[in-house]
């Protein structure tokens, strides 16, 4: 949903008086700006550096305006938006005797002097009478906050000392409400006005020097509007509410002269208004994270009106006499801070679950009738869209099995449910095959969980697996076997079929690596070892070595004495190379590999530590949330500076969470360093492996593949070092030299090859 941020609108209303200080209060020509000037008192202060000039800008200045003009400017648009689903709040703020109650209620003797509340009720019911599509239900409530105690002004039960214990402010995701507050449904404007005047008569009013009818409590009159559209009467519902707030006036005891009960009431009033100013200041500051709504009942009740989904309007009532200019200045500063508050009003739409179910059932029935009509138009047989029966499921299962066996080429499908059932049967068959494969593997192999560190450690100690849990195998041999090219067969006699099969089997055994079969494992979290490998001791290894040595000792027949003898198998030659010529490179490779394995092991340990820290942090955060929720339900305590007081348990959780965060940051930094080291070590291992393989290729070619005649031409001291020319080029050079020597012998015999033919043959050989 797209949210539109709005500022709180603030208007200034000046109480009409004959003693208006025109030389100190001046209004701008746009009727929105106001300038104030306070004169310095030279008698009281010899050195007075206080500011004397102020300038304010409101959304409108209402001076010498009627009640009707006030309502048109301040409340009419807000009430209209509330009728379509947006919450609204109108609040009157100012000093005692400034006309707040008159602005809200007006007078009961003259109809023209009605206030905002009666006119809002009239507008709501007039819209209800004119509306034909939505069914509008109107309800009202009237809440009083007197000396930090909640009272229901429309309650039929007599107020007593325990009334506040039955009423409580509840904050939930749907919004804030007062538990125990009575809400009355009204269908006529007269009934609503009757309840309004009934609650107004119950308000606490007293007389003091500044006001003969001073309100001694804060009052909130709420109009609840619920609209249900006829077409969506069982589903869609639009809810909104209008809070009309008449705050008690702030007063200075030096001017009002309050004593006794009036003094106690004035203390509660000034205290709650002071907390309200703190909340407004915090809301106007975008850098503030905590808003002290729970400091008083007034600020807690106004939380939705100030912070959340609501259109809010403030009317600052002031007195224009010179004696009250300081209080007027304070009210203007409060209104300016209110204008900096941003709200996000949204349309309040809800959907009834039972109505939604009924509407969906109707839609399903309509769609089924439409499908039946399409089937009949398409000349298709009657298709059932109901859930499949047991017989139909068995038939689909049989068709799937026959399809997999190749007995049928297609599966009969006529609706979506059958398609879903076909895929379900395929999934069941696949899972059955997986279980069968796993059972066969378990009969031949021992499956060990990678998380079973005790078993892995025992196998590592026995030399069966390495540090990572893989079967022990020379990584350099594996890399060589996968990358080395097959030896040339040109000019050699064919071996017997039996020897060929034996060599193929041995080649398969030597080329088979652990990584090649790792993809066929039943689970990635398990390590699989052959049971035969676990049972066989050193004797099979000695036998394999004896067999390899026996094969190496058998000479292979050669066609020409100039060609090299049959070279040994590359794995055996590689072992010879590592012990002699490539011993230094092999040593460096093994050292780098051991360092890499050590870094990987440390990385695994650090990762496990980070995960455990993260889990502990999440549990502490959850405990903190529970503590905060419990504190909010029981009520928060603040000190003199406005800071929240927390218990020792919550403080220890906060300290522990802070320590864990620091430990998490250090471990994460260590993990990043280890990753960089592993990447560097892996690069070194790869380079050493490539160097080892390339040096072995050169050594193997020099030792076994290059013919003796060519090898004589490539002895040390020449211009070409062995290894610089690829072996295929060397062999081509040897074949070319043999051909040239044969042609030279034939040329010496007269009549065999003419000169022209010789040139052509030489040219052909050159091209080849």
Tracing tokens 């100190």 back to the chain, one arrives at 24
> 396 and 414 in contact (C-beta within 8 Å)?
no
How many CB atoms within 10 Å of residue 708?
11
Distance CA(673)–CA(680), nearest Å, equals 11
Task: Note the helical H segments in 378-452.
Answer: 390-405, 416-444
Distance CA(341)–CA(6), nearest Å, equals 8
Largest CA distance in the chain: 150
Summary count for the chain: helices (H), strands (E): 26, 23
Give, for 88, the enclosing helix (H) or strand (E).
strand 88-94
DSSP character at residue 114: B
The distance from CA 26 to its chain's CA centroid, rounded to whole angstroms, is: 54
How many CB atoms within 10 Å of residue 310?
27
Tracing tokens 């030096």 back to the chain, one arrives at 254
Distance CA(100)–CA(113), nearest Å, equals 14
Q: Which residues are annotated as a binding site?
A: 94-101
Q: Which residues are annotated as a binding site for ATP?
A: 94-101
Find, among 153, 245, 167, the residue nearest to 201 by Cα: 153
Give strand pairing partners of 141. 222
Distance CA(480)–CA(577), nearest Å, equals 12
Give, for 271, the enclosing helix (H) or strand (E).
helix 261-284
Angle, helices 727-748/755-767, rounded to nearest 10 degrees:
170
* CA neighbours closer than 13 Å in the CB half-sphere of residue 16: 7
Helix (H/G/I), strand (E/B), else coil: 39? coil
The distance from CA 449 to its chain's CA centroid, rounded to whole angstroms, is: 32
Tracing tokens 């909104």 back to the chain, one arrives at 240
Residues 6+ apart with CB under 8 A from 64: 14, 16
> 124 and 223 in contact (C-beta within 8 Å)?
yes
Strands (E), 432-522: 445-449
């Amino acid at each position: 949903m797209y949210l539109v941020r709005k500022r709180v609108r603030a208007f200034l209303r000046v109480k009409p008086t004959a003693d208006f200080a025109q030389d100190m209060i001046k209004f701008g020509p746009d009727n929105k700006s106001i300038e104030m000037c306070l004169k310095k008192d030279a008698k009281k202060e010899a050195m007075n550096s206080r500011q004397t000039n102020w300038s304010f800008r409101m959304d409108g200045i209402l001076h010498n305006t009627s009640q009707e003009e006030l309502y048109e400017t301040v409340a009419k648009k807000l009430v209209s938006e509330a009728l379509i689903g947006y919450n609204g709040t109108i609040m009157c703020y100012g000093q005692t005797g400034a006309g707040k109650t008159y602005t809200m209620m007006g007078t009961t003797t003259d109809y023209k002097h009605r206030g905002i509340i009666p006119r809002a009720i009239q507008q709501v019911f007039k819209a209800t009478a004119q509306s034909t599509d939505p069914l509008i239900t109107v309800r009202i409530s009237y809440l009083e906050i007197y000396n930090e105690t909640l009272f229901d002004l429309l309650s039929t039960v007599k107020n007593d000392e325990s009334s506040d214990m039955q009423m409580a402010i509840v904050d939930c995701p749907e919004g804030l409400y007062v538990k125990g507050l009575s809400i009355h449904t009204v269908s006529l404007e007269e009934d609503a006005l009757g309840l309004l005047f009934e609650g107004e008569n119950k308000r606490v009013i007293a007389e003091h020097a500044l006001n003969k009818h001073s309100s001694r409590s804060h009052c909130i009159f709420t109009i609840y509007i619920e609209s249900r559209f006829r077409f969506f009467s069982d589903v869609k519902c639009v809810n909104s509410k209008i809070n009309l707030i008449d705050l008690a006036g702030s007063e200075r005891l030096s001017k009002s002269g309050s004593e006794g009960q009036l003094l106690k009431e004035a203390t509660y009033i000034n205290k709650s208004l002071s907390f309200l100013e703190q909340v407004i200041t915090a809301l106007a500051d975008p850098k503030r994270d905590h808003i002290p709504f729970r400091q008083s009942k007034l600020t807690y009740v106004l939380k939705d009106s100030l912070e959340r989904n609501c259109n809010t309007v403030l009317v600052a009532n002031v007195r224009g006499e010179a004696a009250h200019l300081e209080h007027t200045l304070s009210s203007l500063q409060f209104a300016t801070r209110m204008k900096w508050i941003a709200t996000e009003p949204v349309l309040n739409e809800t959907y009834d679950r039972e109505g939604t179910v009924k509407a969906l059932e109707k839609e399903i029935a309509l769609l089924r009738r439409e499908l039946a009509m399409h089937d009949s138009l398409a000349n298709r047989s009657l298709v059932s869209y109901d859930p499949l029966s047991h017989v139909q499921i068995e038939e689909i299962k049989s068709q799937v099995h026959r399809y997999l066996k190749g007995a049928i080429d297609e599966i009969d499908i006529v609706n979506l449910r059958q398609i879903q059932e076909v895929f379900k049967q395929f999934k069941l068959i696949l899972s059955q095959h997986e279980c069968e494969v796993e059972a066969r593997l378990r009969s031949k192999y021992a499956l060990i969980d990678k998380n079973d560190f005790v078993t892995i450690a025992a196998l590592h100690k026995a030399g069966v697996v390495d540090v990572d849990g893989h079967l022990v195998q020379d990584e350099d041999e594996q890399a060589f076997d996968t990358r080395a090219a097959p030896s040339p067969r040109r000019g050699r006699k064919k071996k017997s079929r039996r020897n060929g099969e034996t060599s193929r089997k041995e080649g398969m055994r030597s080329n088979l690596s652990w990584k090649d079969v790792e993809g066929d494992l039943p689970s990635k979290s398990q390590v699989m070892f052959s049971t035969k490998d676990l049972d066989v001791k050193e004797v099979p290894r000695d036998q394999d070595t004896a067999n390899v040595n026996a094969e190496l000792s058998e000479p292979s027949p050669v066609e020409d004495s100039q060609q090299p003898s049959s070279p040994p198998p590359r794995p055996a030659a590689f072992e010879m190379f590592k012990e002699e010529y490539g011993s230094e490179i092999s040593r460096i490779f093994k050292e780098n590999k051991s360092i890499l394995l050590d870094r990987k092991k440390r990385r695994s340990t650090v990762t496990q530590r980070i995960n455990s820290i993260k889990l502990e942090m999440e549990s502490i955060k959850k405990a903190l949330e529970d503590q905060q929720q419990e504190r909010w339900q029981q009520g928060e305590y603040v000190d003199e500076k406005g800071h929240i007081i927390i218990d020792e348990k919550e403080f220890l959780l906060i300290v522990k969470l802070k320590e864990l965060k620091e430990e998490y940051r250090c471990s994460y930094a260590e993990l990043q360093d280890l990753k960089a080291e592993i990447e560097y070590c892996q690069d070194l291992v790869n380079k050493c492996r490539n160097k080892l393989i390339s040096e072995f290729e050169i050594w193997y070619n020099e030792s076994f593949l290059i013919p003796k005649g060519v090898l004589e031409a490539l002895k040390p001291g020449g211009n070409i070092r062995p290894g610089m020319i690829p072996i295929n080029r060397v062999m081509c050079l040897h074949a070319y030299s043999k051909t040239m020597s044969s042609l030279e012998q034939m040329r010496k015999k007269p009549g065999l090859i003419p000169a022209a033919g010789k040139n052509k043959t030489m040219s052909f050989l050159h091209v080849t």
